[in-house]
Amino acid sequence: MAIVQSLITILVFIGILGGLVVIHELGHFVTARLSGVRVLEFGIGFPPRARVLRDRGETLYTLNWLPIGGFVKLEGEDGDAGDDPRSFANQGLAKRLLILVAGVVMNVVLAFVIFTGIAAFATPFMGITSFGVVADSPAAAAGLRPDDSIVAVDGERYEFFGGRSVLDGLSARAGEQVVLTVDRADGSRVDLTATLRDRAAIDAGLGALGISQSREHPWEGYFFGEYTGRDLPSAVAIGARETVRALGLIVGGLGSLVRSVVADPTAPPPVAGPVGIATQIGDVLWNAGPIMTLYVAGILSANLAVVNILPFPPLDGGRMFVITLKSIFGRRISLRAERLTYVVGFVFLFGFIIWITGFDILRQLGGIS
């Protein structure tokens, strides 16, 4: 079973990451076509080429063997202008910047659409599972057992975007008698009556109920879960809020990474590489379900947007920075120097990914936390 789960996790990881990159490249592709730039190839996956999907007109549509991602090949994107008026290099600065930033915009839009869709149609209810019950506590007196999951307090459910959890609901009812709706490990649902500890005991750190090592999680009665929805204006507002929040978290994470590397390059970085991301996706998929996995995909889409806009070659932001400098200084920046910048940047970026992946593997082996 573990092997099957691992294989499914890998496939889901490849599907999510590949899909996000293809959407990103689709932004470049559509904007280039609308701008009149000649698109030589739109590839799903990375070479070697598996097959040609379509060979009509001036664009070759291909399917490639390496499934993580995709690419768009534009005429003149290497900086060689030539004499083709539809070459990328022969376009004005504004048009080239628009084509380059379009991929980032697509990832931000995708994150917004994912968050809005979840808010509108499939917001998970949240519950907590107790891994232990403290003796002589309100939980013990009520008959709560280890592995019981509390899904409602006095009939009130707590959904993912609501800003309040079951624990918040318990704390707000300090000293009161409440009815807990509990799902047991055998699949049955029961109502238990508990008299919660008073505010002084809660403030002293004892907890309102007396459960230990609880885990908050989306509550899914079946694989496709128990969900709620909301009207479109509310969902759009939540989608926008979550998109801004995701972008902010990622910017903050990059700041933490820089501070960590400067302080101690040998310390485990506060970010995950491909192995760590795949592991996290697997944890969410098998412990929280498909909707929360989709939510993670939205966060990763925002992540891809932020990373790609960084002014570091060969990322989109780096290319935007270089072509802006070229437009300012003209021929004083040679084509050879531009290409060398991209090569050096790619080598550095590849080495950085290998460095992070090494820590990912050590975490999986238990060598670091």
What confidence tens digit (pLDDT) does each residue in 81-134 have? 677 899 998 999 999 999 999 999 999 999 999 999 999 998 888 888 877 888
Shared domain for 166 and 153, answered yes or no, is yes
Question: What is the mean pLDDT of the segment spanning 188-195?
Answer: 93
Percent of the chain with pLDDT over 90: 50
Shared domain for 116 and 260, answered yes or no, is yes
The pLDDT, as a whole number, for residue 216 is 63
Looking at per-residue confidence, does 221 or 247 come out higher? 247
333 is a domain residue: yes
Report the C-alpha gap between 323 and 251 in whole angstroms.
Answer: 24
251 is a domain residue: no
Q: What is the band of 16 on the pLDDT scale with cuts at 50, 70, 90?
A: very high
DSSP output for 213-247:
S-EEEEE-SSTT--EE---HHHHHHHHHHHHHHHH
The pLDDT, as a whole number, for residue 223 is 42
Does pLDDT of 364 surpass 90? no
The domain of 221 spans: 125-228
The pLDDT, as a whole number, for residue 120 is 95
The pLDDT, as a whole number, for residue 270 is 83
Q: How far is CA 88 from the centre of its chain?
A: 31
The pLDDT, as a whole number, for residue 27 is 98
243 is a domain residue: no
Shared domain for 356 and 268, answered yes or no, is yes
Into how many domains does the chain fold?
2
The pLDDT, as a whole number, for residue 221 is 42
Shared domain for 72 and 42, answered yes or no, is yes
Q: What is the pTM of this model?
A: 0.87
Residue 174 maps to which CATH number? Answer: 2.30.42.10
Does pLDDT of 1 surpass 70? no
Q: How far is CA 317 from the centre of its chain?
A: 20
Percent of the chain with pLDDT over 70: 94
| Average of per-residue pLDDT values in the chain | 88
205 is a domain residue: yes
Shared domain for 117 and 265, answered yes or no, is yes
Pairing of strands 177-183, 189-195: antiparallel
Shared domain for 174 and 93, answered yes or no, is no
Shared domain for 170 and 222, answered yes or no, is yes
Of 195, 168, 296, give the one whose Cα is nearest residue 242: 296
Looking at per-residue confidence, does 10 or 337 come out higher? 10
Shared domain for 46 and 30, answered yes or no, is yes
Angle of helix 290-308 versus helix 232-263 axis, rounded to 10? 60
Give phi and psi for 67, each to the nearest 5. Answer: -80, -5
Q: Which residues contact 208 (CB under 8 A, 6 or more apart)?
A: 138, 167, 170, 171, 173, 174, 196, 197, 202
Query: Where is average pLDDT lowest: 152-156, 157-161, 183-187, 211-215?
Result: 211-215
Query: Where is average pLDDT lowest: 45-49, 133-137, 157-161, 224-228?
Result: 224-228
Of 88, 14, 26, 91, give the one whose Cα is nearest residue 61: 26
pLDDT in tens, 192-228: 999 999 998 888 888 888 887 666 666 544 344 578 8
